[in-house]
Amino acid sequence: MLPVFLNVYDVTKRDSVKMLNAVLAHWWAPVKLGGIFHVAVEINGIEWSFGKTFLISRPGVFGVPPGKDPSHSFREKLFLGYTTLSMEQVSSILIDMIEEYQGRDYDTLRRNCCHFSEDLCQRLGVSKLPDWVYRLARIGEAAADFVNESMNDSWSERLQEMLPESISWVWASWKTSSEESSTKPPVEGALPVDPGMAYPPL
């Protein structure tokens, strides 16, 4: 049987993020509220995670030595149990997930490293991620969904009816430019949002 660990990082290396996470999820606190974390699943000496890439040739799933992600500050290691799968079976799972988790599909709230790690842990048959690891992300996702539902076309039309013509025109222009920018393809050759999360699997 192979032991499986969850490696938790403070996102980026900024002291302000470390301080926030220390307040919301102190190591010795009996109840952790949440924080801004990057996570990776460690198995057989390599930790696996998922990040943003723009090029098809660069996979979103990547492997690095445990606790050595260059873009984030390592925080702690959590034991998730043992998998009864062989290393060959684990490798097969990772190959499948490399195909399923494309870097261009990464979304900060809806398809991130926590979703990948949760999925991988489920396939390995070990414990799920602690709720505090991505509680803030879930809250953010729910808030974003609420805003998106509120900002539908009928709501926009009602708002424009209440606004003076000049302000209404600005609102319509902003909405159009926002929609266009959200559908623009990334520039070919652009660097990933987080360069440290774009390594190919080992």
pLDDT, one tens digit per residue, over 108-165 is 888 999 999 999 999 999 999 998 888 766 665 555 555 555 555 555 555 445 545 4
Phi, psi of 64 (to 5 degrees): -140, 165
Percent of the chain with pLDDT over 90: 48
Handedness of CA 129, 195, 201, 77 (dihedral sign): negative
The pLDDT, as a whole number, for residue 169 is 44
C-alpha dihedral over 182, 114, 100, 193, to 10 degrees?
A: 40
On average, the pLDDT of the chain sits at 77
Q: What secondary structure letter does DSSP report for 111?
A: B
Ramachandran quadrant class, 8 (left: phi over 0; alpha: psi -120 to 50; beta: rest): beta
The pLDDT, as a whole number, for residue 193 is 33
Mean pLDDT of 178-194: 38
The pLDDT, as a whole number, for residue 139 is 62
> Considering the entire predicted model, what is its pTM?
0.68
Given a contact cutoff of 8 angstroms between Cβ atoms, the answer to whether 78 and 39 are in contact is no
CA distance 130 to 174: 40
Sheet of 73-83, strand order: 61-64, 46-50, 37-43, 2-10, 73-83
Tell which wins on pLDDT, 25 or 63.
Answer: 63
Tell which wins on pLDDT, 1 or 158.
Answer: 1
Domain boundaries, the chain: 2-147
> Domain 2-147 carries which CATH code?
3.90.1720.30
Mean pLDDT of 36-64: 92
Using the predicted structure, report yes or no on whether residue 105 has a pLDDT greater than 60.
Answer: yes
Least confident window among 19-23, 86-90, 116-120: 19-23
The pLDDT, as a whole number, for residue 173 is 45
The pLDDT, as a whole number, for residue 110 is 84
Given a contact cutoff of 8 angstroms between Cβ atoms, the answer to whether 37 and 134 are in contact is yes
Given a contact cutoff of 8 angstroms between Cβ atoms, the answer to whether 61 and 94 are in contact is yes
The pLDDT, as a whole number, for residue 54 is 81
Given a contact cutoff of 8 angstroms between Cβ atoms, the answer to whether 5 and 41 are in contact is yes
